[in-house]
A and B are shown apart, each in its own frame.
Chain A
Amino acid sequence: MSEATAMSGVTKYIGVSRKRSEDPVVLMGRAKYVDDIALPGMVEVAFLRSTHAHARIKRVDVSKAEGHADCLGLVTGDEFDQGTTTFFPGTRGELKPVSTPFIARDKVRYVGEIIAVVVAPSRYIAEDIVDLIEVEYEKLPAYNDVEEAMQDGATPLHEELGGNVYYSDSYSSGDVAKAFKDADLVVSEKFTTGRTSAAPMETRGVIAEWSWDEKLTVWSSTQMPYPLRTQISHNLGIPEQIIRVIAPTVGGGFGQKAHFFPEEFILPWLAKRIRKPLKWIEDRREHLLCAAHAKQNTIYMEIAMQKDGVILGMKIKNIGDSGAYSQYPWSGLIESLAANTGAPGAFRVENIEYETRVVLTNKMSTGAYRGIGWSAGCYAREMALTKAAKLLDLDLSDIYFKNLIRSDEFPYTTATNQVYDSGDYHKVLDKCLELSDYRNLKKHPRLGDNGKLRGVGCSFFVEQTNWGSRAAQESGFPATLHDTTTVEMDPGGKVTVRSGQFSHGQGLRTTLAQVAAETLGVLIEDVVVIDGDTETGAYGMGTFASRSAVIGGGTVIRAATDVRNKLIKIAAHVMEAHAADLTIDDGQIFVKGSPGHSISVAEIAHITYFDRFRRPDENEVEPTLSSTRHYDPPAAYANGSHAVIIELDPQLGTIDIKRIIAVEDCGNMINPKIVDGQMRGGVAQGIGLGLLEHLDYDANGQLRNTSFMDFLIPNAMTLPDIECAHVITPSPYTEGGFKGAGEAAMLSIHIALANAVADALSDYGTAVPTVTPLGPQQIMDLINQQAAD
């Protein structure tokens, strides 16, 4: 086992904001996303999707459709009856397996579920043919609300499960009863967080082709090419050796594309029969209906407080809205269970009790989206603390400072058994409050001359990063994740990094090249990073859960170190020097302190490949300059703080965001500019979550907003500039001392926003926001509720 390599401070390539090597081809419009790929003879697929939320399928009449002159293929669930089951053993509570058919057969469980597949020369014609299919439904009661769906008499969505609760657990640590008995104040609130979609600008898409030599190639806009290959093999019974999965340029994922969807199995299966390349590109309406949803939970939060602001204990019931299925592979637990296991957050809370329930409803299933269940879980905890602050006549920041884990307490094991590796929470919070002028703003009157109310809100978060096996375990998901990278040097001394991670906007081809160049001592211009193609990469789980800086960086460090050591051994032989005296810099190998007398890496590479007389004996040193290494890191916990300053119009309930400050501590940074980009992107999505986004299902399970016209995501005028600052406490446990940084704001910014609202309304009373998003109606409700009290 390798010890952590601490890279402190800025080095030649680490900690440097290099421009991204990925960008020129994208800027010129040459990058290929899945819909940009054209194969000879390619035809297109359209799906017939259910128009009812819960119904038995009595009859599907395809006769007119099949009769269409351009119908190249039509498949229903009778012919393709495969599916998956979402289950993993070893969970704390009872997890029932939930089966998902790829094509619905006897019943449909959400609007948008696939009933039939049509193949035609173009999408236009395929949609014409879909319109000719007739379906007779027998409606069943549809559930939109978890508390209704989980009742004993409710109609089960999956008959074999008996009811609609498929996961139940409870956990207790410390003496919760005493904590609540001793409390000076118990805050008790119900929180309901809205449903949203990650909604990347590129929708999903799949191409599948069976080639003349009986090989299957699948292109998918996915975050996980290797696991997708494994799953296609597993679910369709095709040997993995003959499957190639390619994720081309992918236009955003945010976790939504880190799932396996029915379309990714239907097209490969169908491609074998049709014997033409098949393409399906999701349109935006399909996307908002049928790509994994997220964030909707009902949380009952109780916090026991001492009057000086110390948190004595927490009691939580988290009811997750899983939608109609348990989204494959993470399951519906990715919201509620992660929320509960992360419930203590940055605070010293020893007494905690939680219950988790995951419930089926007649909506699209929910899955992982940046911040997973932490977005809702943190919101519930933090807004309860804001309420406590109001009732105790304290500021929220007072409560923070009283309860934050201190820098001398790390490594810190929380009451839910998560091991926080390092941090300086007080320093980060201080920095945020100072940059935002928080304390000063709090002293000023809220009502401005323009009739608007000013508010400032802050928040603090701890983010679990590096989703390898141990992080997954600490969040309640027993799983083994497998990640490798291959580093190889060619005869010309140039380096190829074959990564098991997969960048879909994060610039990993640049950051991993930075790590490789730094480790090997070569010029970064001589490093190329390849990812996304299972034929040319190395097995890895892909990029999601803020894992790739550590796992990508860590596997590169290990593999590049092996190649570096090999180069030095061979050079020592060639130069008749001691290996311990040699170093590599800028592609030259020399005795430390004597850079004038050097031999180039290129020359050593050439000798290694082609000069058996000058290289050492093959039995002493094998003449290969390549290494594949694995890394399954411990969890590393990043942290940070946000502040939001708003003006709120109490007549209209509208919010104008004036300033946003974001402070991040993600350990050693490889490329600070890229980290800033992640911070800012996360802030925008978090503001969307907190202010705008709500997928609005009606009581019959019909989704009312399926376009960007009425499902609102932030535009350039929603937010001001996002001011970023950094604190660095490296992880003592990870290679490079790196931590992840991707999700950050989704655990925090919507809380800072809600706190700004609570602050703006402080003259009105002590009510705090308990829902997301905070649209004008919700703000007016809060104002009117306080007026009534």
Chain B
Amino acid sequence: MSDKQEVSLKVNGENYHREIEPRTLLSDFIRHDLALTGTHVGCEHGICGSCTILVDGLPVRSCLMFAVQAEGKSIETVESLATDGQLSVLQNAFWENQGLQCGFCTSGILMSMKAFLEENPNPSREDIREALSGNLCRCTGYHDIVDSVAAAAESLTSSGATR
């Protein structure tokens, strides 16, 4: 099937317009058509959460969406977090607290947690674990990720920053 369809969307603040096969997954579109490879694909079944991005501010598994379904939407991926090579408060908290090992699940977790902390600026460790439960990690055992998110929450509330 090579009937293509047009899609227009915003990704990390930039407008894109492309012609693609309608069956192209949003994850593949972001990674290959837009060459934004920071978002990773761990299962393509919508379970591991590695491919999590924000669509109009909400965390979405990009492997469960077709790119054409993102028509007119505003997407944020991990590449939007740092500013001019400076890590965001959340990213820095992960660095300080060893919240990553191989890094493959990390982008999905950062995007999930960004959205989570915006809604829940003062989470308990249990709240964090529950919010994290949709993102699988095989390397860390989650403890250091919880530490990272808790540290980020504290930094964000004390500094009054939002990211």
Q: B-contacting residues of A (Cβ < 8 Å)?
A: 19-20, 22-24, 26-33, 35-36, 38, 124, 198-203, 249-252, 254, 283-284, 504-507, 673-674, 676-677, 680-685, 707-709, 713-717, 719, 721-722
- Interchain CA distance A88-B42 in the complex, whole Å: 35
Please list the 8 inter-chain residue pairs (A to B) with the smallest Cβ-Cβ separation, ordered nearest first. A29-B38, A251-B104, A505-B102, A680-B141, A684-B141, A26-B103, A36-B37, A29-B78
Q: Is B140 an interface residue (CB 8 A)?
A: yes
- One of A199, A200, A717 near B133 (C-beta < 8 A): A717
- One of A27, A201, A677, A714 near B50 (C-beta < 8 A): A201
User: Is A709 within 8 A of B110, CB to CB?
Assistant: no
With contact pairs A27-B87, A708-B136 given, residues A200 and B145 touching in the complex (Cβ less than 8 Å): no
With contact pairs A33-B104, A677-B144 given, residues A707 and B45 touching in the complex (Cβ less than 8 Å): yes
User: Is B138 within 8 A of A254, CB to CB?
Assistant: yes
Can you show 7 pairs from A to B with CB atoms below 8 A apart?
A: A19-B96, A27-B78, A38-B35, A249-B102, A284-B44, A506-B101, A677-B101
User: Is B143 within 8 A of A28, CB to CB?
Assistant: no
Q: Which residues of B contact A714 (CB under 8 A)?
A: 141-142
Known: A27-B87, A124-B24, A201-B137. 15 other contacts (CB 8 A): A23-B103, A26-B100, A27-B78, A27-B81, A27-B100, A28-B38, A36-B37, A124-B23, A201-B40, A250-B102, A676-B98, A680-B143, A716-B135, A716-B137, A717-B133
Binds A, one of B65-73, B124-132, B155-163: B124-132
User: Is A199 within 8 A of B94, CB to CB?
Assistant: no
- One of A24, A28, A203, A722 near B79 (C-beta < 8 A): A28
How far in angstroms is the closest Cβ of chain A from B160?
22
- One of B42, B98, B103 near A249 (C-beta < 8 A): B103
Q: Which residues of A contact B58 (CB under 8 A)?
A: none
User: Is A715 within 8 A of B133, CB to CB?
Assistant: yes
User: Is B98 within 8 A of A20, CB to CB?
Assistant: yes
User: Is A709 within 8 A of B37, CB to CB?
Assistant: no
- Interchain CA distance A249-B141 in the complex, whole Å: 20
User: Is B31 within 8 A of A29, CB to CB?
Assistant: no
- Interchain CA distance A654-B37 in the complex, whole Å: 40
- Interchain CA distance A264-B91 in the complex, whole Å: 35
With contact pairs A28-B82, A201-B104 given, residues A35 and B41 touching in the complex (Cβ less than 8 Å): yes
Q: Which residues of B contact A199 (CB under 8 A)?
A: 138
- One of A252, A505, A507, A683 near B141 (C-beta < 8 A): A683
- Interchain CA distance A511-B35 in the complex, whole Å: 32
Q: Which residues of B contact A717 (CB under 8 A)?
A: 129-130, 133
- Contact code string B104-140 (vs A, CB < 8 Å = 1, else 0): 1111001000000000000001001110111111111
With contact pairs A35-B31, A716-B135 given, residues A684 and B140 touching in the complex (Cβ less than 8 Å): yes
User: Is B143 within 8 A of A721, CB to CB?
Assistant: yes
- Interchain CA distance A28-B94 in the complex, whole Å: 11
Q: A-contacting residues of B (Cβ < 8 Å)?
A: 21, 23-24, 31-32, 35-45, 47-48, 50, 77-79, 81-82, 85, 87, 91, 94-96, 98, 100-107, 110, 125, 128-130, 132-146
Work out how many contacts link A and B, with CB atoms closer than 8 A.
176
Q: Which residues of A contact B45 (CB under 8 A)?
A: 284, 707-709
**Across the two chains, which residue of chain B brings its CB closest to A32?**
B37
User: Is A201 within 8 A of B105, CB to CB?
Assistant: yes
User: Is B98 within 8 A of A708, CB to CB?
Assistant: no
User: Is A27 within 8 A of B101, CB to CB?
Assistant: no
User: Is A252 within 8 A of B95, CB to CB?
Assistant: no
- One of A20, A29, A684, A721 near B107 (C-beta < 8 A): A29
Q: Which residues of B contact A719 (CB under 8 A)?
A: 141-143
With contact pairs A201-B137, A715-B133, A716-B146 given, residues A29 and B39 touching in the complex (Cβ less than 8 Å): yes
- Interchain CA distance A80-B77 in the complex, whole Å: 42
Q: Which residues of A contact B40 (CB under 8 A)?
A: 33, 35, 201-202, 251
How far in angstroms is the closest Cβ of chain B from A523?
20
**Across the two chains, which residue of chain B brings its CB closest to A250?**
B102
User: Is A681 within 8 A of B139, CB to CB?
Assistant: yes
User: Is A680 within 8 A of B31, CB to CB?
Assistant: no
Counting chain A CB atoms within 10 Å of each CB, the highest count among B125, B136, B145 belongs to B136
User: Is A202 within 8 A of B142, CB to CB?
Assistant: no
User: Is A31 within 8 A of B78, CB to CB?
Assistant: no
User: Is B102 within 8 A of A721, CB to CB?
Assistant: no
How far in angstroms is the closest Cβ of chain B from A543?
12
- Interchain CA distance A254-B141 in the complex, whole Å: 14
With contact pairs A252-B139, A674-B98, A685-B138 given, residues A28 and B129 touching in the complex (Cβ less than 8 Å): no
- One of A283, A284, A722 near B143 (C-beta < 8 A): A722
How far in angstroms is the closest Cβ of chain A from B113?
11
Q: Which residues of A contact B138 (CB under 8 A)?
A: 198-201, 252, 254, 681, 684-685, 713
Q: Which residues of B contact A29 (CB under 8 A)?
A: 36-39, 77-79, 81, 107
- One of A26, A31, A202, A680 near B140 (C-beta < 8 A): A680
User: Is B43 within 8 A of A708, CB to CB?
Assistant: yes
- Interchain CA distance A685-B105 in the complex, whole Å: 16
- Interchain CA distance A504-B103 in the complex, whole Å: 9
Counting chain A CB atoms within 10 Å of each CB, the highest count among B31, B78, B143 belongs to B143
User: Is A709 within 8 A of B47, CB to CB?
Assistant: yes
Q: Which residues of B contact A254 (CB under 8 A)?
A: 138
- Interchain CA distance A284-B27 in the complex, whole Å: 15
User: Is A507 within 8 A of B101, CB to CB?
Assistant: yes
User: Is A708 within 8 A of B37, CB to CB?
Assistant: no
How far in angstroms is the closest Cβ of chain B from A507?
7
User: Is A124 within 8 A of B21, CB to CB?
Assistant: yes
- Interchain CA distance A283-B28 in the complex, whole Å: 13
With contact pairs A28-B91, A719-B141 given, residues A201 and B37 touching in the complex (Cβ less than 8 Å): no
Q: Which residues of B contact A31 (CB under 8 A)?
A: 103
How far in angstroms is the closest Cβ of chain A from B9?
18
User: Is B79 within 8 A of A505, CB to CB?
Assistant: no
**Across the two chains, which residue of chain B brings its CB closest to A708?**
B47
**Across the two chains, which residue of chain A brings its CB closest to B111?**
A29
User: Is B35 within 8 A of A28, CB to CB?
Assistant: no
User: Is A505 within 8 A of B143, CB to CB?
Assistant: no
- Interchain CA distance A721-B124 in the complex, whole Å: 13
**Across the two chains, which residue of chain A brings its CB closest to B50?**
A201
User: Is B91 within 8 A of A27, CB to CB?
Assistant: yes
**Across the two chains, which residue of chain B brings its CB closest to A20?**
B98
User: Is B95 within 8 A of A27, CB to CB?
Assistant: yes
How far in angstroms is the closest Cβ of chain B from A616?
44
User: Is B43 within 8 A of A284, CB to CB?
Assistant: yes
Q: Which residues of A contact B78 (CB under 8 A)?
A: 27-29
- Interchain CA distance A33-B96 in the complex, whole Å: 23
Q: Which residues of A contact B87 (CB under 8 A)?
A: 24, 27-28
- One of A27, A203, A504, A674 near B106 (C-beta < 8 A): A27
- Interchain CA distance A451-B137 in the complex, whole Å: 33
How far in angstroms is the closest Cβ of chain A from B100?
6
Q: Which residues of B contact A676 (CB under 8 A)?
A: 98, 144
- Interchain CA distance A202-B142 in the complex, whole Å: 17
